[in-house]
Structure formats: C-alpha cells, structure tokens
Amino acid sequence: MPTEAAVEKKPAASEKPQPFLARYGFSATVAVLGVLMLVLIHRSVYAYLTSGDDYTIDLATLHVADRPEWAGDGLVSEFKTNSPLTGKMSIFDPELTKHVTEHYAQNPWVSRVLTVQKEFPNTLRVKVEMRKPLLAIEMKGQYVLVDRESVRIPGTYVNVPKFTFTVCRVLGVKSAPPEGGKRWIDPGIDAAAGVASALVENRVDRMMTVHSIDVSRVGRGGRETEVVLHAEDSVPIEWGRSPTSREYGELTVNEKVRNLKGVLMSQPRLKGVGRVKVQFDDPVVIMRR
C-alpha cells in the first residue's frame, strides 16, 4: 500500500530567510518601548511618592498613642523630649517603621515597642509599653526612680513624684545609679523590688501605708533582719532575708505576705503596734506600751 511521507519544504533559491526584526521588528520595538515607558513611569511615580509632601512624615511631630492613665502631661513631655526624633521620611520608605521602632526601643522610658502603624497618607502611630515606677531610691536627699526590673527611669527628683499607685521610698542603697534605661545592679534594690512588688500584687499597700523600705543590711549576713519596712506611724516591720535569698528555712515571699496580712486583719493600720516580725512561721507582734 502506498505510504505518505512528510516532506520538508525548502525555500527556493531566490527566497532568503527574513531577519527577525524584519519579520517581528515593529511589534517587538513597541513592546520594548512599552516596558521602557513603564519603568520610567514607575520611577517617576516612586520618586514623587517618596519625596512629595503629601506622603512625607515629619518625625518630630510623632506622638505615642494610648498612653497609660498614670502618665501625666509632665511625664509625657519629658518622654517626648528625651532624644526626640528629627527629620522627615516618606511613608513609602521601607526603612521607616524599622527606624522608628529602633529609636523608641532605645528610649529609657520604654519597656518595649508594641506597634508602629502607618496611616496613609502621612501619619504614623506608635504604641509602646512605658516603664512604670515602683521604687524611689533615696540618694543624698534626692530620689531616683526604678521599675520592677530594677531599671532606672530618667530624672532626679527632690521629692518622690506623685502617682495614682504606690511608689515605695528605698533607704540604704550605697551604689551609684546607672544612666536612664540601664539596670541598676545592686542587691539592695533587687530586694526592695521583690518586696514592693509582692506588696502591690497582693494589695497590702491598700491595707497600710509603706513609708519606706530599708535595705542597708542586705548582704551583711548574721541573724538580724536584712529588710525592714516602715509603715503606719513609723512601725518597723522586719521582713527577714531578701526575696532573692536561698537560705534554708527562710519563708517564701508569699508566706511572709500572708503573715503580714494576718497581722493587718487583727490590727488594722497597725494601730497600737510597736513592731512586727513576719519572717517566722508565726508572726511576732509587739504592742506599744
């Protein structure tokens, strides 16, 4: 049976292969020009967006959203003027949020940066967690604030600032304070922070007024109490060892708090009390004569 064979058609001798551009030149040129125009347009638009005033943020005008209710105007003003941001950046700048986050993370008032949000066309809102004062360390008649992590908060104060929460005055610290935002490495401050945190968390500070915490004996050893609280009518409360102590037989912080609350339940505001010792299984209450 006859079979069919594929036959390749060869160009005639007079026919010459057409160059690519000759055959497709017009459409290819149009495509290349189109891509080039898109690139140029993109660059011009990007240049406008990154430099146009409508999309530019003046970093000096930034404000922190959702400030804590305890942070008064004076504190917020001090926070803003502490190494303020300067300059201008486009909201389209990929380094914008990183730059702002790093700046606020270095602010000694800031514990951590929560969010940095862009709001078009030219707004940036920053939300941070501010360091909350817990202790006021007495230093030669002036006071330096630290938070519960023993980190120093900027400023030196003639009087303990007034807040809507308890800030305990601490006596007996001998070491020099670090710069703002740095942890104050001192066993006495760690002891005071542990005691003050326990009093606040268990609301003992609502049952009595804590005038001061004396940590001058911390680290000395011996049998005498390391930490002494001074409460209503300057009544001394012997706490025992520092909360950081690992000495065998020492009551836990919670056990000492329970002892103190028991005393306050029987002797509200420590009325008539001369001295209290909470470091024993059964707290000791010495009445005034």
Domain that holds residue 146: 135-287
Local confidence band at 122 (pLDDT 50, 70, 90 cut-offs): confident
Kindly state whether residues 65 and 118 are assigned to the same domain: yes
Residue 64 three-state SS: strand
Q: Confirm whether 49 is domain-assigned.
A: no
Q: Confirm whether 46 is domain-assigned.
A: no
- pLDDT above 70 (res 154): yes
**Which of residues 108, 130, 152 is at a domain's end?**
130
User: Are 135 and 167 within 8 A, CB to CB?
Assistant: yes
| Range among 68-72, 100-104, 258-262 rated most confident | 258-262
- Kindly state the helix (H) or strand (E) to which residue 77 belongs, with its residue range: helix 73-81
Nearest to 118 by CA among 47, 175, 163, 65: 65
The DSSP secondary structure of 154-200, one letter per residue, reads: S--BSSPPP-SS--EEEE---SPP--TTSB---HHHHHHHHHHHHHH
**Which of residues 71, 101, 130 is at a domain's end?**
130
Q: Confirm whether 11 is domain-assigned.
A: no
Kindly state whether residues 152 and 281 are assigned to the same domain: yes
More confident residue, 34 or 254: 254
- pLDDT above 70 (res 276): yes
Local confidence band at 1 (pLDDT 50, 70, 90 cut-offs): very low
Residue range 251-275: mean pLDDT, rounded: 94
Kindly state whether residues 103 and 222 are assigned to the same domain: no
* pLDDT tens per residue, range 158-217: 999 888 888 999 999 999 999 999 999 999 999 999 999 999 999 999 999 999 999 999
pLDDT at 56: 87
End-to-end Cα distance, the chain: 136
Kindly state whether residues 63 and 97 are assigned to the same domain: yes
Kindly state whether residues 263 and 190 are assigned to the same domain: yes
pLDDT at 9: 45
pLDDT at 18: 54
Cβ partners under 8 Å of residue 53, min gap 6: none
Q: Confirm whether 4 is domain-assigned.
A: no
- Domain count of the chain? 2
Strand segments (E) across the chain: 56-58, 88-90, 110-119, 123-130, 135-139, 142-146, 168-171, 212-214, 227-230, 236-240, 273-277, 284-287
- pLDDT above 50 (res 4): no
Kindly state whether residues 216 and 141 are assigned to the same domain: yes
**Which of residues 87, 104, 130 is at a domain's end?**
130
More confident residue, 152 or 50: 152
Give the separation between CA 162 and CA 212, rounded to whole angstroms.
Answer: 15
| Range among 3-12, 63-72, 167-176 rated most confident | 167-176
pTM confidence score: 0.74
Kindly state whether residues 122 and 148 are assigned to the same domain: no
Integer CA distances (angstroms), 196 to 111, 175, 253, 256, in order: 19, 20, 11, 12
In which residue are the tokens 């049998």 written? 223
Local confidence band at 40 (pLDDT 50, 70, 90 cut-offs): very low
Average the pLDDT over each of 33-42, 213-222, 260-269 and give the range with the smallest value. 33-42
Kindly state whether residues 81 and 206 are assigned to the same domain: no
Residue range 219-234: mean pLDDT, rounded: 88
